[in-house]
């Protein structure tokens, strides 16, 4: 629904971005897909770390740049994927991305533009922009029923309306 499609907020610290992530993580269900967009240092991994915490994952979440996919065991499995180093046009099938996308866990992808064509249409897009030394604007956008539900629940829990 259009009115539930977008949610904007401002983060004033890395810690706050992590807390937003944790709120989001607490809401995730199997098959949920979150795409994290933003320039280098915008806070994508910081948000992913919060999401992991919200899923009850205590293991430290590190940037998976060289391994592409890292799996963490929480309330659900979390697959943290970073496509930054994937060469344009290279075979994503080789990392078995479908197994993660249609598996038993939730998936978070940094630099998802490297894989656009292969990603399910219904996903939650998170766009981070650097607006100051410690300030980030964060926009959540849904693209289908499943991601709209996430935004709706996030709004209810995090913002109290
Ligand atoms: N409000 C904020 N939210 C998130 N990170 C912040 C904020 N303010 C400052 N920072 C800092 O910005 C950096 C964000 O780094 P992070 O690794 O999360 O970015 P990234 O988007 O994953 O970058 P990359 O493209 O290299 O993977 C951290 O050093 C963090 O401490
Ligand atoms: Mg990162």
Task: Enumerate the β-bridge partners of residue 128.
Answer: 138
| Residue 14 beta carbon below 6 angstroms from any ligand 1 atom | yes
Are 86 and 68 within 8 A, CB to CB?
yes
The structural domains of the chain, with segments of one domain joined by +, span 2-85+92-159
Confirm whether pTM is higher than 0.85. Answer: yes
Indicate which atom in ligand 1 lies nearest the CA of residue 49. 18
Predicted local distance difference test score (pLDDT) of residue 109: 95
pLDDT in tens, the chain (161 residues): 444 599 999 999 999 999 999 999 999 999 999 999 999 999 999 999 999 999 999 999 987 666 788 999 999 999 999 988 877 666 666 677 888 888 899 999 999 988 877 889 999 999 999 999 999 999 999 999 999 999 999 999 876 75
Q: Which CATH number fits domain 2-85+92-159: 3.90.1010.10, 3.40.50.300, 3.90.700.10, 3.30.70.20?
A: 3.40.50.300
Indicate which atom in ligand 1 lies nearest the CA of residue 17. 3
Give the residue, out of 10, 11, 14, with the most ligand 1 atoms within 8 A of its beta carbon, to mutate for a pocket test: 14
Give the residue, out of 41, 133, 134, with the most ligand 1 atoms within 8 A of its beta carbon, to mutate for a pocket test: 41
Closest CA to 61 of 135, 70, 159, 151: 70
């Amino acid at each position: 629904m259009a009115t539930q499609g977008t949610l904007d907020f401002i983060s004033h610290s890395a810690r706050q971005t992590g807390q937003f992530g944790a709120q989001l993580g607490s809401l995730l269900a199997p098959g949920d897909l979150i795409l994290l967009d933003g320039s280098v240092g915008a806070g994508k991994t910081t948000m992913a770390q919060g999401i992991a915490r919200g899923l009850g994952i205590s293991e430290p979440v590190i940037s998976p740049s060289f391994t592409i996919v890292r799996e963490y065991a929480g309330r659900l499995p979390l697959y943290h994927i970073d496509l930054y180093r994937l060469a344009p046009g290279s075979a994503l099938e080789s990392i078995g991305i479908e197994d993660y996308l249609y598996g038993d866990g939730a998936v978070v992808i940094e630099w998802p533009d490297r894989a656009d064509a292969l990603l399910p249409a219904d996903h939650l897009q998170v766009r981070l922009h650097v607006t100051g030394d410690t300030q980030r604007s964060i926009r959540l956008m849904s693209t289908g029923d499943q991601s709209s539900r996430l935004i709706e629940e996030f709004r209810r829990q995090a913002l109290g309306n």
